[in-house]
Structure 1
Amino acid sequence: MTTTPMRIVHCVRSPIGGIFRHIRDLAMCQSEAGHDVGLVCDSNTGSAFDNRLLEELKPRLALGIARFPMQRQLTVQDLTATVSLYKHIRDLKPDILHGHGAKGGAYARLIGSVLRLRGQKAARVYCPHGGSLHYDPNRFEGRVYHTLERLLGRLTDGLIFVSDYEAAAYESKVGHTKARSRIVYNGLTPDEFTPVPVDEAAADFLYIGMLRDLKGPDLFIEALYNIRLKNGSAPKAHIVGEGPDEERYRNMVRKLGLDGAITFHGALPAREAFKLARNVVVPSRAEAMPYIILETVAAERPLIATRVGGIPEIFGRYANRLVEPGHIGKLTTAMEEALADPAKMAQQAKNLRSCLAETFSVDLMNDRITTLYQEIQGIAPTDSSTPAQADSVSAVPRAQTVLARSSNR
């Protein structure tokens, strides 16, 4: 199909982690397809590792990268940020304004709506990436954020969900949407499906991800402590990543006397980190469609993960291996079993990898998202076979029990 060039601007608050990986891959694919692409994001977020990735992306984007102060929570400073963002985005004259995450989605839809009132036909597209959908609808914060999502839903032309679970969460917590919508799984590049061998002096376990309670590093540390209590010595482990709670986890390691067993590394490329340990542990309390799970499976590394978000969709028929989220006893047991039978873990990793490549492809991800843009603009036929409205309705029953427990930690 001939591609009509578009001017696409992606908006996200925090250019880190899986959400930025998604944007980076998508932006590069769109740029290579002949579209003019730009990115706006927070100027206060990101380590040296994250900023280096942004600098590497900048030459690929015809509309550039612009950074403005953006707060995580709702504050009066949002008004100033919105005015600055509006002026910048207005001058870019986007055909597509694609917001990622709760804050990026709010900026994109509000600014896109003002542009439309002033004669610019900017399509407003939103992908939650979990975001406000992690909040408990029975708590005050959840009620506030889900009400805002319902209001912003009226200003939305396209919705993209990265998993069936996320579509079900939106339907359950926010409500039915009239926007054109689609479920599009995150994707990997072909070279990421090459198995990664471990170093000769590899440790037993690796945690890789953001250092915040939502991702469960505290559970990982506590499970290692439990194994030490039972066996007299703790398995060797590495923690790779950065985040707001890093110092608290370091203090936890010292308090539990695990300094000699656990090594902190900061941020590293995933495939480099995989070499450090024989087993990867992802003990998340909540997720949407985590890249680290996809990357671990594609690299054929033995994996222990929790039954949250879209992770069961990745595991498919092997979802019975997943651990109950937040259950320290079951996580400890799973890690003990991995130590006891490494051959079984290796075979499970091989089996899981074999069914991943076709579904979780970056090219497929790009094609389905870009086609949705074109449908919204009326320059591509409607993909009536994959509306997220229908998919999310069917997904609700199997996700309900998990949705009831999800909250922002």
Structure 2
Amino acid sequence: MTPTPMRIVHCVRAPVGGILRHVRDLATAQAAAGHDVGLICDSITGSAFDLQQLEELKPHLSLGVERFPMKRQLTIQDLSATWALYKHIRDLKPDILHGHGAKGGAYARLIGTVLRLRGKKTARVYCPHGGSLHYDPHRLEGRIYHTIERFLRPLTDGLIFVSDYENAAYESKVGRPRALTRIVYNGLTPAEFNKVEPRADAADFLYIGMLRDLKGPDLFIEALYNIRLKTGKAPQAVIVGEGPDAERYKTMVDKLDLSGSVRFEGPMRAREAFEMARTVVVPSRAEAMPYIILETVAAERPLIATRVGGVPEIFGRYANRLIEPGHIGKLTIAMEEALANPKAQEAHAKELRSCLAETFSVELMSDRITTLYQELHGLKPIDGQALGTKTLGNDIAGAPTAFARTGNR
């Protein structure tokens, strides 16, 4: 029996980076499964690279891709933005309104609540993707955002966390979830598990990601400088990506006299960037479940990463290889070791790739999330047809399951 098709609308503020990757893969998989899917995102954020991905997504989504201005910070303009979003979403008549990130999650839950008050059976689903959970609960900004999260908690029907770490962070900073909850890891496509070989002229190191301090490119640059101080020669490095602090990092490279060793490239697909260097460095200060770590491990590229967020869950029994976040000395030592013994790095990459769980797949990610949607709409496994062994509770296991409607929320 085919699961009942649903009308699903995803809402995310910034269509960039890993959050765009997650929404794109999820929406495409849901559309391919026969659901009507739409996407709403910010109209003032995103590079040509990001906009191209949105254009590629449009033909797959029957409910369209629409963009509205959405500020990152809380402003009075949020009132007019919410009204414009409400009118658009109301006309789409969604069964599921799925918010991604702090701002997208707030819009989805507030608008979904208004729709429910007007008699609609819209289920409100939220995935933080780190977002407000990255803030320090002891600082003013953190207290504000976590208070907002607590206010929105009773307006939430379904919660999806991309790692055990994110689930724990929500419980400690916001409170125990009241909604139906799942932990669902980000997923990759089968093609991404093919090994990538570096080019003959590959640089020593690659940083790829958002150019903002949270991701640690400043630490990467400083480690390169430290190596030059010790050896008299800076390693060759490539920095791939874009972000609000890009110009500051370029200035930092110039001031440290690293311009001859470090080059900046714009955003590009990860597997293309992997060919440009022998070792990938991800020096993040905070993460939830970073795609770039998954992509690097699946491509069997040597990797230096920090012990943040859900990264230890990816590394599994090799988590002892992760380094302390924000510790420039340990990052420098790890990069020196990579230069001194590249064969050991290749062997480590092969070991890590071999233990990458099947859990990290787009198919399973989409199935687990869509299963939560179906449960929210009163669907349960048909006797004798359930293919998975777990369908309830806060777990990450599961497989495609047949459902029948039993009633509406």
TM-score clears 0.5: yes
Which position in structure 2 is the counterpart of 1:106?
Answer: 106
Distance in 1 between the 2:380 and 2:331 partners?
47
For the residue of structure 1 that corresponds to 2:280, the secondary structure is strand
Distance in 1 between the 2:273 and 2:263 partners?
12
Which position in structure 2 is the counterpart of 1:203?
Answer: 203
Q: Counterparts in 2 of 1:140-155, with a 5 A limit?
A: 140-155=140-155
Which position in structure 2 is the counterpart of 1:59?
Answer: 59
Which position in structure 1 is the counterpart of 2:68?
Answer: 68
Gaps of 5+ in 1: 392-409
Distance in 2 between the 1:320 and 1:305 partners?
11
Q: Would you say the 8 A contact 1:183–1:386 is kept in 2?
A: no
Distance in 1 between the 2:84 and 2:366 partners?
29
Q: Report Cα offsets for 1:101-135 as digits up to 9, x if no partner.
A: 00000000000000001111110000000000000
For the residue of structure 2 that corresponds to 1:197, the secondary structure is coil
Distance in 2 between the 1:25 and 1:188 partners?
9
Which position in structure 2 is the counterpart of 1:190?
Answer: 190
Q: Would you say the 8 A contact 1:283–1:306 is kept in 2?
A: yes
Amino acid in the other structure paired with 1:187: G
Q: How far has the Cα of 1:386 moved from its partner? A: 5.2
Distance in 2 between the 1:144 and 1:238 partners?
37
Distance in 1 between the 2:121 and 2:348 partners?
50
Q: Would you say the 8 A contact 1:10–1:39 is kept in 2?
A: yes
Which position in structure 1 is the counterpart of 2:402?
Answer: none
Question: Which of the pair has the greater relative contact order for Cα pairs under 8 Å at 6+ separation?
Answer: 1
Q: Counterparts in 2 of 1:227-238, with a 5 A limit?
A: 227-238=227-238
Which position in structure 2 is the counterpart of 1:407?
Answer: none
CA 1:359–1:370 in 2, change beyond 3 Å: closer, same or farther? same
Q: How far has the Cα of 1:387 moved from its partner? A: 2.4
Q: Counterparts in 2 of 1:319-330, with a 5 A limit?
A: 319-330=319-330
Q: Counterparts in 2 of 1:4-19, with a 5 A limit?
A: 4-19=4-19
TM-score if structure 2 supplies the norm length? 0.94
Q: Would you say the 8 A contact 1:15–1:46 is kept in 2?
A: yes
Distance in 2 between the 1:64 and 1:120 partners?
21
Task: Answer yes or no: is 1:272 the counterpart of 2:272.
Answer: yes
Q: Would you say the 8 A contact 1:68–1:85 is kept in 2?
A: yes
Q: Would you say the 8 A contact 1:158–1:179 is kept in 2?
A: yes
Distance in 2 between the 1:387 and 1:306 partners?
30
For 2:393, which of 379, 387, 406 is the aligned residue?
Answer: 387
Distance in 1 between the 2:256 and 2:342 partners?
27
Which position in structure 2 is the counterpart of 1:87?
Answer: 87
Distance in 1 between the 2:120 and 2:162 partners?
28
Which position in structure 2 is the counterpart of 1:371?
Answer: 371
Distance in 1 between the 2:193 and 2:38 partners?
29
Amino acid in the other structure paired with 1:134: H
Q: Report Cα offsets for 1:372-408 as digits up to 9, x if no partner.
A: 00011111249976523x89xxxxxxxxxxxxxxxxx
For the residue of structure 2 that corresponds to 1:149, the secondary structure is helix
Identity %, equivalent residues:
76
Q: Would you say the 8 A contact 1:8–1:98 is kept in 2?
A: yes
For the residue of structure 2 that corresponds to 1:41, the secondary structure is strand
Amino acid in the other structure paired with 2:368: R
For the residue of structure 2 that corresponds to 1:154, the secondary structure is helix
Q: Counterparts in 2 of 1:121-270, with a 5 A limit?
A: 121-270=121-270
Q: Would you say the 8 A contact 1:225–1:256 is kept in 2?
A: yes
Q: Would you say the 8 A contact 1:203–1:277 is kept in 2?
A: yes
Q: Report Cα offsets for 1:354-374 as digits up to 9, x if no partner.
A: 121512011000000000000
Q: Would you say the 8 A contact 1:193–1:357 is kept in 2?
A: no
Distance in 1 between the 2:149 and 2:113 partners?
15
Provide the aligned C-alpha RMSD in A. 1.2
Greater Cα shift, 48-57 or 355-364 = 355-364
For the residue of structure 2 that corresponds to 1:380, the secondary structure is strand
Which position in structure 1 is the counterpart of 2:77?
Answer: 77
Distance in 1 between the 2:392 and 2:112 partners?
25
Runs of 4+ with deviation above 4 angstroms = 381-386
Gaps of 5+ in 2: 397-409
